[in-house]
Amino acid sequence: MSFTPSENLKQEVAELLTHYPEGEQRSASLMVLHAIQSEAGYISKEAMQWAAGEIGIQPLNLYELVTFYPMLREEQPGKYVLKVCRTLSCALAGGMDLHKSLCNKLKLDPKKHGLQTTEDKKFSIEFAECLASCGTGPVIMCNDDFYEAVDDAKTVEILGGCE
């Protein structure tokens, strides 16, 4: 697999780097990674190598960030990314059961906690930390759409609306 940045991405990264003094461009690392993921949907090792060259750091420095921050992905997600909140309020309201139910509906492993994608690449599911709606759990996001007080019936509606 290869990575060829678009002209827009090259310009965006170059512009981001201008905000930092010479020798301090590593401070732009997270913003550069977000820009790559925004364009490509994920951050490949090849993209990390390219970005490291632009920033003037080792690819390992970017790999550390990609593997540390849960919002950054190393693999291409499905068209619809379901994020199930797993923090205490949502877990007590049934978030873990909701994750299991969604995984079963999508024929994915409910015991796996990382990003999983269906064979047809339509759906991905992963846990999320607090989605900031603790009083209305369980909460999920489907891409940028936010759903509160989700029960099993509502998951059928959400999945069915993904076309």
Domains present along the chain, CATH in parentheses: 7-68 (1.10.10.1590), 80-160 (3.40.30.10)
Q: Tell me: pLDDT of 125 over 90.
A: yes
Mean pLDDT of the chain: 94
Q: Tell me: pLDDT of 163 over 80.
A: no
Report CA-CA distances (Å) from 152 to 81, 102, 157: 17, 8, 9
Asked if residue 76 lies in contact with residue 41, where contact means CB atoms within 8 angstroms, the answer is yes
Residue keyed to tokens 């068209």: 79
* pLDDT tens column, 30-76: 999 999 999 999 999 999 999 999 999 999 999 999 998 878 999 99
Overall pTM surpassing 0.95 (yes/no) = no
pLDDT band, very low/low/confident/very high, at 1 (cuts 50, 70, 90): low
Angle between helices 59-68 and 45-55 (to 10 degrees): 120
Q: How many CB atoms lie within 10 A of CB 66?
A: 22
Sheet bearing 140-142, strands edge to edge: 116-117, 123-128, 80-85, 140-142, 145-147
